[in-house]
Structure 1
């Protein structure tokens, strides 16, 4: 199962994960390959006793054992025939002899016993199917008592072989292993507890999902038995147990969720206690765990980010550089997960811590390189390397957002870097995320530091100059008010300082500003070219508009003249039509007067006739 498949499997609901594991185990247990590789029944009441008799019946032959010991001694001792020594190991039951030497070879040196364990592990990996069932049972029975061996190297070798065998059998095919681990974990013997956690750590490295499956004979998954005990070890007085238990849980949560076996709050509470642990290794693993949590279970961790941030902020000030380096990796992971804005309220405390961590130590390679290169003139490749010495961005990498998830390993070279470089990388990421908003916090401390002139403070001044170079590319506009005074009064005089590293860092910082200023000039030049081009286009457009407007005016003028001529013609036609109408009007007036005269005559005749009738 690939890492991505494991993560998808872990994000599924618990019931779905368990059903998938049951189906997977059921199908694998019924396969012919499974029947060839594993012994059958698991629960104690069903385990056959015949295998135990076979295991106890096998005894090594003294001559063969001496021969194998001689070959292993020749292998661990430097000699020209070392590569050919393995070829002499052609013995029957070789794996039985190897596990015998590993588990019971008290008379042999530890190197020989470790070599036997290494060879046994390689044989199991190479061809586990060819190992007879009786030999398998003997190997398993001999390994289990050695989980709590007094010698740590032997415990480690035994744990390695057990983890390889576990990938073949799991707890379903090796139930005695679960019982042995449980017994050792809950014992009071330090060696047994360390050995059990070491085995679980190696299992979590290879197949952590096998701890979260149902096993016949167990009422709950094995991780539900182991996890509470490992959390109890967080409060153990033994630093080794605290470290091993935390490392084991860290390996488990890479692909598997903590819940429902333990709450996130309970786990984080344990981390908050361990971050103050007197052991630097434990504190370092707390920071590593925080990085894994935010990278793997970001959605689950979002409600707890403020508490985690407070915890890591304290770890960033740790007196141990390795602890502080792991804490710095957390800030990179935090920003690469797209959560940069959540750090805004912590900037007043985070930025001074980063600048303080950028102060070089006496054994810093930058200090050594500057002193060694001082007598020699710079070559072209040296100058190119110096320009990318503190933050190594890759502008050509446009693959996808997955490059951000690996920024602390690839873009900033954290794996090969020290606290100084990693802190500079974090400051660079913050400047890209917040821009000029970091300057009110950054500049007062830088100005105060650069105001000092004593020789004892030259490393702090060099870190301040380095900080100015780191933020130059993004915060140039906000830095303009400070540049004139800093360049003239501080940076230029530092070019002749008596400390080589301060001179080198000043040159690098000035190069960053020169590069940024050149980029600004290039931008202005490009804008001027663009403005000239726009001006030419505007003039051409204006000329075109003028031509079109003149053409339009001429056309309108011609249309007006045409319209005037048309109106004059229509006026003449109207006059011509009006004249006959006027003549007819005169005629009608004449006829109207005649009609009225006749009407009056008629009225007079009618009146006269009426008068006569009255008289008659």
Structure 2
């Protein structure tokens, strides 16, 4: 088969009939059509040729609608099958698409352009250079009927496949860039706008081809800056924002003019143009070199941002009935927000777990530089309205400037802020509170003297109109640290809790969400200071279960989970359990195993389980068994998906939350979890094993977390599997670039550290491999980039604890090369059981090979002297090591060694160890 492929008439008729049938309003008919098309796509080798034939000019008599439908069906098919098509099929499709670009039917050529950009993204430029040549030829001829279709196709290619265009060895930009620049200067405004967007998607790269075109492009771009069309100026602003982000040096010669232009556009009447221009101020805040230039514009910028923070009539209209009680109105399907699941991350050390238990166990990964997942909207005062608006952008820009200029931003801000906060118009007050919250972090030192007056105003605003209440909740959350931690703020703590709790039960869903989020922030900041108020907080939150709709129910789970983390074991009373568990289990029993709404519920339950500890024992079997059932079902579905038995890939989040909740049950119950684990041991180990084999780092992370909890609390049950899982964990201990793999490395390191205490000499053969894996993580071997602090701490503690498995292997592992670095990290780690175990193991190696640590003697003394409260065993070991070094260097040289210590350390060592 070649480009001269000939279809079977019956096949053409069958597919045409199916496509027409897809226009039916009958869902059953549509479903059957989709099923039949999918079946044909799987069983007919030249299915793509039939679709291309129906799109091509040869089918012109069949009408625009059918041809367009064939084109869209072809696009969908190519997305999943393009790279598996036989060469002859692919050749026909390519030829048909290029022929269709010349069609007189503009609707059809638009579809063809879309399909071309899709196919090109799959086969890449080197696999179909003719397509790009044809498109460039067309965009050079504005009189062609296919001109705009070609421009649109090029725009899509620049958006989706910019890297292919930039780095292809065929250098397509050599011909494309001059053609695009000509369009920017051309008379066709829509084409010029699309060409500017194309350039915006390409200019981040620093290549010779792009560099050569900058003078011509910037001349053309600035030549359109004063067009009357807001759409054109919006495109210019978009491109300028990209330039300041990626190639700011190109704007430096005209920076003052650019700033003035973007300021004028931010003030423009057209909201789309103003929003695009407002992005500039957030982008330029990343470039310290321009802060001095920008500072002169602070008064104008602050005034502009404050004006833009006032709700416009259009925004208020988009919010709908924002001032009405709507808690009884179910959330519309389109308003249901997606949820992000976070795998549980473990941290060595005696820090509080999510439930506050001092078990050295699981900890939230908030400290792990978690920059690849969205926060839960706590800094978004309008998170129910998901659109990015000019108002939100202006607030973010003010926040960015406050972070840069700190107190310098207050002189132009405070007078206007005072005027707005005192305004009788609620829209002005609301915007003023938004501005106050926006600068809460960056300018806190300058604002703090005013907070004794501002916080009461914010508390009073909790009783204002709906949107003022909403923003006041958010702003109070931004000042939570001052209220909780500063003496001057303590008087407001109880009124703040009362005000937020009242608004959690407000009749407006927007207020409920903002109050719930702010309350979670306050509780997280307060930690165990929240404990005396549990009797007030818990009943109020439990009441919310009876009034919240879907979205706010999800927020309520987060809030209760945060409460459990903050209060910890103080929640473990019969009274609190009787309040908290019934509504949670009501939801638990209501939701099916496949309902995604169980994901946040499981996360919440994990925090509650750890907080209640033994108080959760009556429910442990039920929870654990359901988790195992979901893990098994998810695994089975994944197997079927990989075999092609089911079309859609199963959601691995069910894996993650179930494994994490199982770990919470084990960690929360501690050694008393033995009966639960014993009852479900085969299923438990099967769950860990299949999860460790899953390709997802998130799933592996949760599997290791569960296994670590089992090792810590019920080791005898998992001991037969320890060596196998140790072998699986060690290869995961290495530097990774991606955050998800870094978290996996963190859990693997923690598990190996815990196994040293349990396996002891059984791990001896693995000590060399573990040392080699851990040294890069502590900075004792080259790495592409520094690991996050949590990984470094876990690696340091694991490395020292290897001395319990085989001190001789640790002593001969190049100890002299890494001892100083290890000790430098150790001195920064607070005293806890894990640090003591690590130091004990390290000192066992030092006693075998004291010469290896001789050059690091001063650092060793830093660690020993600053260790707060060693056990009698460790204290004796420290004493033995110090006296051993005195014997090693001799009495004559000992005073000189002692002089290398800092005076406070020398005093402690002499008095504590008698040397």
User: How far did 1:325 drift?
Assistant: 2.4
Deviations 1:461-516 (A, max 9, x none): 4312332333344545534776788789x87886776x443455456556756753
Deviations 1:32-88 (A, max 9, x none): xxxxxxxxxxxxxxxxxxx9xx53x44444332221101122234343123312124
CA distance in 2, matches of 1:189, 1:244: 17
Q: Taking structure 1 as reference, are residues 331 and 181 closer, same or farther at Cα in structure 2, changes over 3 Å only?
A: same
Does residue 198 of the first structure (1) align with residue 152 of the second (2)? Answer: yes
CA distance in 2, matches of 1:127, 1:487: 60
CA distance in 1, matches of 2:186, 2:439: 44
Match of 2:245 among 288, 295, 300: 295
Deviations 1:71-116 (A, max 9, x none): 1222343431233121246556432221121122334454533332
CA distance in 2, matches of 1:475, 1:459: 24
Match of 1:520 among 470, 486, 493: 486
Aligned equivalent of 1:234 = 184
Q: Give the 5 Å matches for 1:416-495.
A: 416-450=387-421, 453=424, 457-479=425-447
Give 3-state SS (helix, strand or coil) of 1:318's partner: coil
Structure 1 segments of 4+ aligned residues over 6 angstroms from their partners: 213-216, 404-407, 480-488, 490-496, 522-525
Does residue 244 of the first structure (1) align with residue 212 of the second (2)? Answer: no
User: How far did 1:362 drift?
Assistant: 3.0
Q: Give the 5 Å matches for 1:152-231.
A: 153-167=107-121, 174=128, 176-189=130-143, 191-211=145-165, 221-231=171-181
Does residue 99 of the first structure (1) align with residue 52 of the second (2)? Answer: yes
Give 3-state SS (helix, strand or coil) of 1:162's partner: helix
CA distance in 2, matches of 1:478, 1:209: 45
Aligned equivalent of 1:310 = 260
Aligned equivalent of 2:276 = 326
CA distance in 2, matches of 1:323, 1:113: 37
Q: Give the 5 Å matches for 1:103-142.
A: 103-104=56-57, 105-108=59-62, 110-128=64-82, 131-142=85-96
Q: Is the 8 Å Cα contact of residues 83 and 123 (structure 2) preserved in structure 1? A: no
TM-score by length of 1: 0.60
Give 3-state SS (helix, strand or coil) of 1:372's partner: coil
User: How far did 1:435 drift?
Assistant: 1.4
Aligned equivalent of 2:324 = 372
Q: Is the 8 Å Cα contact of residues 247 and 285 (structure 1) preserved in structure 2? A: yes
Aligned equivalent of 1:72 = 19
CA distance in 2, matches of 1:322, 1:347: 23
Q: Who wins on radius of gyration, i.e. which is larger?
A: 1
CA distance in 2, matches of 1:524, 1:64: 78
Q: Is the 8 Å Cα contact of residues 155 and 194 (structure 2) preserved in structure 1? A: yes
CA distance in 2, matches of 1:198, 1:375: 45
Number of residues of Structure 1 aligned to a counterpart in Structure 2: 444
Q: Is the 8 Å Cα contact of residues 201 and 251 (structure 1) preserved in structure 2? A: no
CA distance in 1, matches of 2:23, 2:423: 58
Deviations 1:269-322 (A, max 9, x none): 433344444444444333333333333335655555444433322222232323
Q: Is the 8 Å Cα contact of residues 370 and 504 (structure 1) preserved in structure 2? A: no
Q: Is the 8 Å Cα contact of residues 173 and 209 (structure 2) preserved in structure 1? A: no
Aligned equivalent of 1:580 = none
Deviations 1:369-391 (A, max 9, x none): 75124999xxxxxxxxxxxxxxx
Aligned equivalent of 1:380 = none
Does residue 270 of the first structure (1) align with residue 220 of the second (2)? Answer: yes
Match of 1:143 among 67, 84, 97: 97
Q: Which moved more, 1:64-73 or 1:277-286?
A: 277-286
Deviations 1:14-42 (A, max 9, x none): xxxxxxxxxxxxxxxxxxxxxxxxxxxxx
Give 3-state SS (helix, strand or coil) of 1:417's partner: coil
User: How far did 1:518 drift?
Assistant: 4.4
User: How far did 1:459 drift?
Assistant: 2.0
Q: Is the 8 Å Cα contact of residues 246 and 285 (structure 1) preserved in structure 2? A: yes
Deviations 1:183-206 (A, max 9, x none): 312213264222222232233344
CA distance in 2, matches of 1:130, 1:510: 56
Aligned equivalent of 1:82 = 33
Q: Give the 5 Å matches for 1:542-553.
A: none
Aligned equivalent of 1:551 = none
Does residue 357 of the first structure (1) align with residue 328 of the second (2)? Answer: no
Unaligned runs of 5+ in 2: 329-363, 492-915
Q: Taking structure 1 as reference, are residues 458 and 152 closer, same or farther at Cα in structure 2, changes over 3 Å only?
A: farther
Give 3-state SS (helix, strand or coil) of 1:197's partner: helix
Give 3-state SS (helix, strand or coil) of 2:409's partner: helix
Does residue 344 of the first structure (1) align with residue 295 of the second (2)? Answer: yes
CA distance in 1, matches of 2:450, 2:489: 22
Q: Taking structure 1 as reference, are residues 495 and 235 closer, same or farther at Cα in structure 2, changes over 3 Å only?
A: same
**Which structure would you say has the larger RCO, counting Cα contacts within 8 Å and 6 or more residues apart?**
1
Q: Taking structure 1 as reference, are residues 309 and 148 closer, same or farther at Cα in structure 2, changes over 3 Å only?
A: farther
Deviations 1:501-535 (A, max 9, x none): 3455456556756753543317999xxxxxxxxxx
Q: Taking structure 1 as reference, are residues 246 and 101 closer, same or farther at Cα in structure 2, changes over 3 Å only?
A: same
CA distance in 2, matches of 1:183, 1:512: 56
Q: Taking structure 1 as reference, are residues 301 and 61 closer, same or farther at Cα in structure 2, changes over 3 Å only?
A: same
Q: Is the 8 Å Cα contact of residues 340 and 433 (structure 1) preserved in structure 2? A: no
Give 3-state SS (helix, strand or coil) of 1:113's partner: helix
User: How far did 1:437 drift?
Assistant: 0.6
CA distance in 2, matches of 1:133, 1:446: 67
Aligned equivalent of 1:38 = none
CA distance in 1, matches of 2:458, 2:378: 31
Unaligned runs of 5+ in 1: 1-50, 377-394, 526-616
CA distance in 2, matches of 1:430, 1:235: 35
Does residue 284 of the first structure (1) align with residue 234 of the second (2)? Answer: yes
User: How far did 1:144 drift?
Assistant: 1.6
User: How far did 1:344 drift?
Assistant: 1.5
CA distance in 1, matches of 2:484, 2:20: 66
Q: Taking structure 1 as reference, are residues 516 and 150 closer, same or farther at Cα in structure 2, changes over 3 Å only?
A: farther
TM-score by length of 2: 0.42
Does residue 501 of the first structure (1) align with residue 451 of the second (2)? Answer: no
Q: Taking structure 1 as reference, are residues 427 and 150 closer, same or farther at Cα in structure 2, changes over 3 Å only?
A: farther
Q: Taking structure 1 as reference, are residues 225 and 129 closer, same or farther at Cα in structure 2, changes over 3 Å only?
A: closer
User: How far did 1:347 drift?
Assistant: 1.1
Q: Taking structure 1 as reference, are residues 129 and 211 closer, same or farther at Cα in structure 2, changes over 3 Å only?
A: closer
Match of 1:62 among 9, 13, 35: 9
Deviations 1:211-241 (A, max 9, x none): 457888xxxx432222122112223333320
Q: Which moved more, 1:68-77 or 1:142-151?
A: 142-151
User: How far did 1:177 drift?
Assistant: 3.0
Aligned equivalent of 2:657 = none
Aligned equivalent of 1:564 = none
User: How far did 1:438 drift?
Assistant: 0.7
